[in-house]
Amino acid sequence: MKRKWNVLLIAALTAVFMTSCSRSPDSGGKSVKIAYLPITHALAVFEEAEELAAEDGLKIELVKYGSWPELLDALNANRVDGASVLIELAMKSKQEGIGIKAVALGHRDGNVVIVSNDIDSAADLKGKTFAIPHRQSSHNILLNDALATAGLTIDDVNVTELPPPEMPSALASKQIDGYCVAEPFGAMGVSLGVGKVLFDSKDLWRDSLCCGLVLTDKFIAEEPETARELVGRYKAAGNALDKEKAMEIAKKYLNQKEGVLDISLQWISYNDLEITEETYNALLERVKKYGLSENPPAYADFVKNDL
């Protein structure tokens, strides 16, 4: 009987060894945990996960969160290897000593300033209530830029922070007079007929930065080859997201009506997701100008483009 169990044990161990040897030599069959919120700004992550799922080797384990604070807690505590996140929030974490690096953009453009149908200009926002998802966001910056077109400042409006899914209904019920937030919630307000686009981000801040892909320093240090493969495949996935493919991925991951997604995807693109020093410095200028941070991290300290 003992001999029989030894034979079975050897056979089992051999099977395990053969399985491990059959994995991709580049990634070792590794699974990388990437945190996200269900927004169109994260489509490149979803597309990469889909592509890798169909292949041997590297896999992405998508970890869904319902709010930016929840996602940041997981990222800052190294419970995930990286995240698709508002780049200003990641900058703040970096400034506070959290070990993370921005390795790519999440998207290009793709934000709009939505207002109620009775508002016709930025000047009309004076004294009104305007919602943003977080103070540390490009949406806050875009609000400041929009107000500046009419000679107004953030002190001329009542700013409130709301969860993105609540903004269209808050506009419909007149609790707020406008909002700026990650998609597809701007498109939802337009689709419902409760609001309209006052500004596209391209009108206010060309080549604006919003969401980015960040990885923890721990993951980069411990798995440099996996990190390199992950980022390379991520950028390629973004380039593959034409309108048709983006719609397919958005319908699968976002649980939104096709009409809403069709509007949203008109404003956004995912090609060429490298973070350049020029565009990052334009972000730094606005972060300081509008009081988001007095000492944000420099490009060399925060952005890692050599992956």
User: Within 10 A of 9 (CB to CB), how many other CB atoms are there?
Assistant: 10
Domains 27-109+208-302 and 112-204 in one fold: yes
In the chain, what percentage of residues exceed pLDDT 90?
Answer: 88
Rg (CA), the chain: 22
Considering the four listed CATH numbers 3.90.180.10, 3.90.960.10, 3.40.190.10, 3.30.1330.20, the one that applies to the domain covering 27-109+208-302 is 3.40.190.10
Residue 28 is predicted with a pLDDT of 55
Which DSSP symbol is given to 283?
H
For residue 73, the one-letter residue type is D
In this prediction, residue 30 has a pLDDT band, given cuts at 50, 70 and 90, of: confident
Q: What is the domain class of 112-204 according to CATH? A: alpha beta
Residues 49-97: tens digit of each pLDDT: 999 999 999 999 999 999 999 999 999 999 999 999 999 999 999 999 9
Q: What are the pLDDT digits (tens) for 285-306? A: 999 999 999 999 999 999 999 8
Task: Give the model's pLDDT for residue 11.
Answer: 41
pLDDT, residue 7, reads: 38
Provide the 3-class DSSP secondary structure of residue 164.
helix
State the pLDDT at residue 109: 92
Q: What is the pLDDT of residue 12?
A: 39
Token readout for 47 is: 């597309």
Name the residue ranges covered by the structural domains of the chain.
Answer: 27-109+208-302, 112-204
Check if the beta carbon of residue 210 is closer than 8 Å to that of residue 268.
no
Query: Model confidence at 20, in pLDDT bands (50, 70, 90)?
Result: very low
The answer to whether residues 5 and 212 touch, using CB atoms and an 8 Å cutoff, is no
34 touches 45 (CB < 8 A): yes
Mean pLDDT over all residues of the chain?
A: 91
For the cut 60, the answer to whether the pLDDT of residue 19 exceeds it is: no
CB atoms within 10 A of CB 146: 25
**Which residues, 6 or more positions from 301, have their beta carbon under 8 angstroms from its beta carbon?**
94
- Scan for tokens 């809403």, then name that residue: 260
